[in-house]
Structure 1
């Protein structure tokens, strides 16, 4: 159990990290969710229509747009679900999976076999998946969500079907496949390579590091980034795609009534920060999402903010 001092330090560090991380994460989610079709789109009658939404082509252009339209409040969209998710997962770790005496709230995955690590990571993903979906949707919704009224917020971002059957979030087409594939590549691919090539980082014996092996590991990180970055973009696209169950539409299409809370307020200036793909023509799975993104927006749409994925892979060598 954490002491008072450890708990206080954990709270301060958590607040500080949220102050810094939440805005950057929110911009990242919006940038990867942004729909930038490169050609004319067909309407319901088959007539070509030009894209009328915003076109954002860089991470920092998205950050500027968020601040200009929604201000500081917009940069902190998703704060409450992120906080709740973090506290929930941390509570589970401390209650069921942590060591008897954690150090200042810092937790490391169990040091076990590759299969054990894989199972553990997938379980943690399954626990946090619903809150991740809610967080992504809270960030990308055009509505201003109240911080202290979760019921009203959930009515705005979840469909009636999802509110009646919360488990349907796990059935979001392609999402679980994308998340599990990401985990497999990291746990069974990148992590063993790191332990093989630069195990010195685990013991902090930096003087024993081979620059040649470190170089090979960096190349491996770059190669895996080529696969992981698209999976991260696709996961966001699939997570914000809401599940419906109207008889006249398929299971993920737009429902006729009751999707949004009529009392929710639109964000500043009545102008949406980002453009999202029409829900009436949803992605049908992982492969379908990748194919449609390439066809409609170009292959580079799969590599938005790839450098963040690369940076995460490189810092993994330090055990973070």
Structure 2
């Protein structure tokens, strides 16, 4: 667990910048008035790469901005490390390849736990990273006020009915479980790897299969998982980002910060709507932000 916390802390500025980059709204057409205001210039020059976002966050918010959202992230790292569910259970049972009734039931329960936890993690971590509100206090009440809308604080189950989010997380988990099962089934058909992984002569016949599986995993993760992860970010922050205080007589002012959130547009009404609007407003490239992160991370689960 110590190593997991260490590496999560070490890589968090990169992960936080990735979340912000995926959340950043960059429409294809951004008109600038003849005498642009500071905010207009900032929006027109929004970073369009992970490195650009990392530099923007560091320049505007410093070390505090680079580690914004670290506490909920580490909390979920501890959760996964302590429970070892559901990822370890799913991978373990799929590896043995004995698909009897009890195994299928265990995989289903573990996958359900993964889906529920993924929804909660997406809401808290993504909102903690992208919020423009003050979260310097260690008060749990203050954190909940910042991260959840009034309706969600009154009825926590509402985070599971955020339009499209549950579907996105479910698709993400089922794709991972399905591809892990397919890879192990493929190895079993090919008589599996030999027991002695250190023997090159025994391993040599299986090298082409391994290369094919790595390439397929890379391509599938890029094509399927990356858009799902981008949409999970967008959908998880939407309810809080577009929240309007009806008691105000004046329209809300968009917060200034490294990330431009999509607050003044028609809301995403579901997973398909989210994909369609991202493509229409920002282009296909917005759906594949950070594709290399998702692709290489997925290869580790071969």
TM tier, shorter chain?
A: 0.7 to 0.9
The whole-number CA distance in structure 2 between the counterparts of 1:205 and 1:39 is 56
Aligned residue number for residue 7 of structure 1: none
Q: 1:73 to 1:201 in 2, by over 3 A?
A: farther
Tell whether the 8 Å contact from 2:219 to 2:295 is kept in structure 1 after alignment: no
Aligned residue number for residue 279 of structure 2: 294
Aligned residue number for residue 185 of structure 1: 175
Tell whether the 8 Å contact from 1:182 to 1:228 is kept in structure 2 after alignment: yes
| Shift, 1:187, TM fit | 1.1
Which of 86, 89, 96 is residue 109 of structure 1 equivalent to? Answer: 89
| Shift, 1:83, TM fit | 2.2
| Shift, 1:149, TM fit | 1.4
The whole-number CA distance in structure 1 between the counterparts of 2:290 and 2:261 is 18
The whole-number CA distance in structure 2 between the counterparts of 1:235 and 1:201 is 39
Which of 214, 217, 220 is residue 213 of structure 2 equivalent to? Answer: 217
Q: Deviations over 1:93-149 (max 9, x none)?
A: 27xx69xxxxxxxx8225334744244123123034223311110100112312511
The whole-number CA distance in structure 1 between the counterparts of 2:128 and 2:196 is 40
Aligned residue number for residue 145 of structure 1: 135
Aligned residue number for residue 6 of structure 1: none
Tell whether the 8 Å contact from 1:118 to 1:184 is kept in structure 2 after alignment: no
Q: Deviations over 1:16-48 (max 9, x none)?
A: 22321221211111111110000258xxxxxxx
Q: 1:166 to 1:195 in 2, by over 3 A?
A: same
Q: 1:76 to 1:243 in 2, by over 3 A?
A: closer
TM-score (norm 2): 0.79
| Shift, 1:51, TM fit | 8.7
More helix by share: 2
The whole-number CA distance in structure 1 between the counterparts of 2:88 and 2:22 is 29
**What number of residue pairs does the alignment pair up?**
271
Unaligned runs of 5+ in 2: 32-39, 94-98, 249-253
Question: Is the counterpart of residue 134 in structure 1 residue 119 in structure 2?
Answer: no
Tell whether the 8 Å contact from 2:135 to 2:143 is kept in structure 1 after alignment: yes
| Shift, 1:271, TM fit | 4.0
CA RMSD of superposed structures (Å): 3.0
Aligned residue number for residue 232 of structure 1: 229
Question: Is the counterpart of residue 17 in structure 1 residue 7 in structure 2?
Answer: yes
Tell whether the 8 Å contact from 2:231 to 2:275 is kept in structure 1 after alignment: yes
Tell whether the 8 Å contact from 1:168 to 1:243 is kept in structure 2 after alignment: no
Q: 1:169 to 1:279 in 2, by over 3 A?
A: farther
Q: 1:149 to 1:222 in 2, by over 3 A?
A: same
Question: Is the counterpart of residue 122 in structure 1 residue 119 in structure 2?
Answer: no
Q: 1:314 to 1:127 in 2, by over 3 A?
A: closer
Aligned residue number for residue 82 of structure 1: 73
Unaligned runs of 5+ in 1: 1-9, 42-49, 99-106, 245-251, 259-265
Tell whether the 8 Å contact from 1:30 to 1:139 is kept in structure 2 after alignment: yes
Which of 193, 197, 204 is residue 200 of structure 1 equivalent to? Answer: 193
Aligned residue number for residue 307 of structure 1: 292
